[in-house]
Amino acid sequence: MKKLRIDETLYIKTPGFLSEQRIRKGPVAIIECTQDIPCNPCETICPRKAIKIGLPITNPPEIDEAKCSGCGLCVLWCPGLAIFVLNYNFDKIRASLTIPYEMLPLPGKNEKIKCLDRNGKYVCKGKIEKVTPPKKNSRTSLITFSFQKKYFNTVRGFKK
Ligand code: SF4
Ligand code: SF4
């Protein structure tokens, strides 16, 4: 059976898509929620009111990129695992991505990884920078990993 590929241009058309200018400023939420589903925890949890869904609740989330601080709260609360925090300025040559992670065992800090694109295809080498285990009554961890800056809009996951 032919493997279904994710159409990367879908994200560009959503109101959650950010300008490259904002991305270059530092940590910010990347929302890749492309389906019209009845869901809005991201809107209600954001302490800065940076995400707007409104009514009907099936509206796609819209982000006010000037308000977002990249705190990552919405990443933990999104049931669709559709939000990430991208830090373009992790250091001079690397960006970092903080993603929700629900698999076990958790990776370890400094572990070398293979960074993948939205279709699970290998992009580049990376490194685990931070592991935040699940809070009580949750199974979602937050994993921050770094990779070459030039792949900031391509890397969306990793393989151990
Ligand atoms: S990262 Fe924080 S400030 Fe930005 S949209 Fe998510 S919850 Fe709001
Ligand atoms: S919480 Fe996640 S799945 Fe639900 S609307 Fe927000 S981004 Fe989409």
Helix residue ranges, H only, the chain: 9-12, 20-23, 41-45, 73-77
CB atoms closer than 10 angstroms to residue 58: 12
* pLDDT tens digits for range 45-88: 999 999 999 999 999 999 999 999 999 999 999 999 999 999 99
3 band by pLDDT with thresholds 50, 70 and 90:
low
**Ligand 2: distance of its center to the CA of 36 in Å?**
10
The pLDDT, as a whole number, for residue 135 is 87
Q: Find all residues with CB under 8 Å of 2, minimum gap 6, and list them.
A: none
Which residues does residue 131 pair with via DSSP β-bridges, in sequence order? Answer: 143
pLDDT surpasses 90 at 147: yes
Q: What is the mean pLDDT of the chain?
A: 91
| DSSP single-letter state for residue 125 | E
Ligand 2, atom 6: closest residue by C-alpha? 42
- Ligand 1 contacts (CB < 6 A) are 29, 46, 48, 50-51, 68-74, 85
**Ligand 1: distance of its center to the CA of 106 in Å?**
24
* pLDDT tens digits for range 72-82: 999 999 999 99
The pLDDT, as a whole number, for residue 5 is 57
